[in-house]
């Protein structure tokens, strides 16, 4: 009789304790919200291009130091000597337990902002080619950094609720796909505690604010950039018989490349081969000496990527040979840059999905399909040896998202000059979700 009475009392006490802790987290975010919004707007107005995130990195490092983190700056070596490494980590040790890495990105894009918000970026700078370009946080890295700093602050105040080592990592050059590898190549996991878990968030324009999305397994594709130079023999447009026309060869190459996905690849292994740029010739009546193409290849699996790259080279050289182009003018196929796929550790992401449902409400946690966009956060997993996951943070106005779904007209997405997250609810959800995730992974 006594035991039967105690069970509901204990359960009620536990429920009250959990509810009280959650209300406390909400109250802390409410307290910090004005400061978070100010940070976000300041970051949005001062974007910096990849490899040039000097002021942004210094700001993030300073904020982490104020919170008591041991900060190491200038992590990351790039092949081009003019690019400094602006990666940084803040480490906070709080007793025994797991090491959890939380990542944000620092860089912005060469995009001229057209959102019309009062805090729009007016920044202009010169790119690597010396051309003046506008700069904008068109991928939401300002949202990511602000959520990152808000999470770091709450976790320093909630040290009695977790135990272990917290690593806050700010990565440069995500947009160029080489920032994560640059940090790893600079002995990242030798100089800081190797994480037991690595997590990150990314805003999503087509997901309502207040919600988060998750994808177990492959969530984002690898991206490989390829340059193709097709050499011909130029001549007068009126005498094509004495030339070898690289424009015709390039046209045949573009069409034949489309057969790779449709006829050489399993439909169960998603892949994309897109020719995004083709340039050749100067006048109507001149057959040029060469044509240049630029491609992007997207896959989830590494073996599929390698097979597609081999097919591209075979097709390009085969078409040129069929056209009678001499061997000494064989096409050049060069893999210029790339990033690996993003694989969400299924056990980790399912665990965090449960945490998010408890923190945000089950209706606000959505399982979403994988996409073919790319992100280099997956490199921090060391080929899946470290459980790693990235989840989506809703940043869209709910009414506009609803209208978009009803009409089929897409909203301005990531990398658009019109991309404008709704700051307050997005930041509130980002800080709450990430803080809840870390507290669960490091709970006492």
145 in the same domain as 51:
yes
Residue 304 to residues 265, 299, 375, Cα–Cα distance (Å): 8, 7, 18
Does 285 share its domain with 364?
Answer: no
Domain CATH code at residue 357: 3.40.630.10
Considering the chain, what percentage of its residues have pLDDT values greater than 70?
A: 93
Judged against a pLDDT cut of 50, whether residue 140 lies above it is answered with yes
Question: In which band, very low, low, confident or very high, does the pLDDT at 336 lie, cut at 50, 70 and 90?
Answer: confident
For position 228, which CATH number holds? 3.30.70.360
Q: pLDDT tens for residues 279-319?
A: 999 999 999 999 999 999 999 999 999 999 999 999 999 99
Tell me the Ramachandran region of residue 82: left when phi exceeds 0, alpha when psi lies from -120 to 50, beta otherwise: alpha
Same domain, 66 and 159: yes
CB 124 within 8 A of CB 132: yes
210 shares its domain with 83: yes
DSSP output for 157-176: HTGGGB-EEEEEEEES-TTT
Of 33, 359, 22, 35, the closest CA to residue 158 belongs to 22
Give the pLDDT of residue 22. Answer: 56
| Pairwise pLDDT comparison (11 vs 210), residue with the higher score | 210
Q: How far is CA 276 from the centre of its chain?
A: 20
pLDDT at 137 exceeding the cut of 80: yes
Asked whether residue 118 is assigned to any structural domain, the reply reads yes
pLDDT given at position 1: 43
Alpha helices by DSSP H, listed for 216-267, are 246-259
In a domain, 6, yes or no: no
Q: For residue 424, with 0-12 CB atoms within 10 Å meaning exposed, 13-18 middle and 19 or more buried, which class applies? A: middle
Q: Is residue 213 part of a domain?
A: yes
Residues 69 and 205 in one domain: yes
Question: Each residue of 227-242: pLDDT tens digit?
Answer: 999 999 999 999 999 9
Beta carbons of 148 and 168 less than 8 angstroms apart? yes
Across the range 243-256, mean pLDDT stands at 98
Kindly state whether residues 37 and 173 are assigned to the same domain. Answer: yes
Residues contacting 333, CB < 8 A, separation 6+: 226, 227, 228, 312, 313, 316, 317
Tell me, what's the pLDDT at 326?
94
Question: Is position 200 within any domain?
Answer: yes
**Is 4 within a domain?**
no
**One domain, residues 216 and 129:** yes
Quote the tokens at residue 157: 């105040």
Residues 117 and 30 in one domain: yes
Residue 5 lies in a domain: no
Indicate the burial class of 436 (C-beta count within 10 angstroms; 0-12, 13-18, 19 or more): buried
- Given a cut of 80, is residue 337 above it in pLDDT? no
Q: Which of 339, 373, 388 is the last residue of a domain?
A: 339
Domain assignment present for residue 171? The answer is yes
- The pLDDT of residue 117: 98
Q: Which two tokens stand for residue 414?
A: 């990531």
Q: Are 108 and 48 in contact (CB under 8 A)?
A: yes
List helix spans (H) across 46-109: 54-66
- Residues 238, 97, single domain; the answer is no
Give the mean pLDDT of 99-108: 98
Give pLDDT, residue 164: 98
Domain count, the chain: 2
Alpha-helical runs (H) found in 260-384? 302-322, 346-360
Dihedral of alpha carbons 415, 170, 346, 178, sign: positive
Least confident of 79-88, 120-129, 281-290, 381-390: 79-88
Q: In what order do the strands lie in the sheet with 365-367?
A: 70-75, 87-94, 164-171, 99-105, 197-208, 388-396, 212-214, 365-367
Question: In terms of residue numbers, what domain contains 229?
Answer: 223-339
Burial class (CB in 10 A: 0-12, 13-18, 19+), 74: middle
- Do 34 and 138 belong together in one domain? yes
CA distance 372 to 215: 13
Q: Is residue 1 part of a domain?
A: no
What pLDDT is stored for residue 25 in this prediction?
A: 95
Asked whether residue 20 falls in the same domain as residue 118, the answer is yes
Distance (Å) of CA 267 to CA 299, 301, 312: 12, 13, 18
Residue ending a domain, choose from 290, 309, 339: 339
Over range 32-44, report the average pLDDT: 98
Residue 16 banded pLDDT, cuts 50, 70, 90: very low
Residue 323 reports pLDDT greater than 90? yes
Residue where one domain finishes, among candidates 321, 339, 357: 339
Give the tokens for residue 106: 């620092």
CA nearest to 296, candidates 260, 250, 343, 337:
337
* Confidence (pLDDT) at 81: 53
* Claim to verify: residue 86 and residue 111 sit in the same structural domain: yes
Read off the tokens for 62: 């300073």
79 falls in which pLDDT band (50, 70, 90)? low
């Amino acid at each position: 009789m006594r035991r039967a009475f105690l069970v509901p009392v204990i359960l009620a006490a536990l429920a009250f304790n959990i509810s009280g802790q959650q209300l406390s987290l909400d109250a802390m975010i409410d307290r910090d919200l004005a400061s978070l919004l100010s940070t976000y707007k300041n970051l949005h107005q001062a974007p910096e291009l990849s490899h040039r995130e000097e002021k942004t990195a210094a700001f993030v490092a300073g904020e982490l130091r104020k919170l008591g983190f041991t900060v190491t700056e200038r992590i990351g070596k790039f092949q081009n000597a003019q690019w400094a490494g602006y990666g940084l980590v803040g480490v906070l040790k709080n007793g025994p337990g797991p090491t959890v890495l939380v990542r944000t990105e620092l860089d912005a894009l060469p995009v001229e902002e057209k959102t019309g918000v009062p805090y729009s970026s007016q920044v202009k700078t010169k790119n690597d080619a010396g051309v003046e370009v506008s700069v904008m946080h068109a991928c939401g890295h300002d949202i990511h950094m602000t959520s990152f700093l808000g999470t770091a602050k709450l976790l320093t105040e909630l040290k009695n609720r977790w135990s272990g080592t917290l690593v806050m990592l700010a990565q440069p050059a995500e947009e160029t796909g080489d920032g994560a590898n640059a940090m790893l190549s600079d002995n990242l996991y030798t100089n800081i505690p190797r994480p037991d878990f690595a997590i990150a968030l990314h805003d999503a324009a087509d997901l309502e604010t207040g919600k988060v999305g998750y994808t177990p397994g492959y969530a984002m594709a690898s991206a490989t950039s390829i340059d193709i130079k097709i050499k011909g023999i130029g001549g007068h447009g009126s005498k094509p018989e004495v030339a070898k026309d690289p424009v015709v060869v390039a046209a045949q190459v573009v069409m034949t490349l489309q057969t790779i996905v449709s006829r050489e690849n399993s439909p169960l292994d998603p892949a994309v081969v897109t020719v995004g740029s083709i340039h050749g010739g100067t006048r109507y009546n001149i057959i040029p000496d060469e044509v240049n193409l630029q491609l992007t290849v997207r896959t989830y699996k590494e073996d599929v990527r390698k097979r597609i790259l081999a097919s591209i080279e075979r097709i390009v050289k085969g078409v040129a040979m069929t056209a009678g182009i001499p061997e000494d003018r064989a096409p050049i196929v060069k893999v210029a840059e790339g990033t690996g796929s993003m694989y969400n550790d299924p056990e980790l992401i399912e665990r965090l999905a449960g945490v998010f449902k408890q923190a945000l409400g089950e209706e606000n946690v959505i399982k979403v399909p994988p996409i073919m966009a790319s992100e280099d956060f997956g490199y921090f997993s060391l080929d899946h040896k470290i459980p790693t996951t990235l989840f989506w943070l809703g940043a869209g106005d709910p009414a506009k998202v609803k209208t978009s779904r009803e009409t089929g007209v897409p909203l301005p997405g990531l990398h658009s000059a019109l991309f404008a997250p709704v700051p307050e609810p997005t930041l509130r959800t980002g800080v709450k979700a990430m803080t809840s995730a870390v507290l669960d992974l490091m709970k006492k």
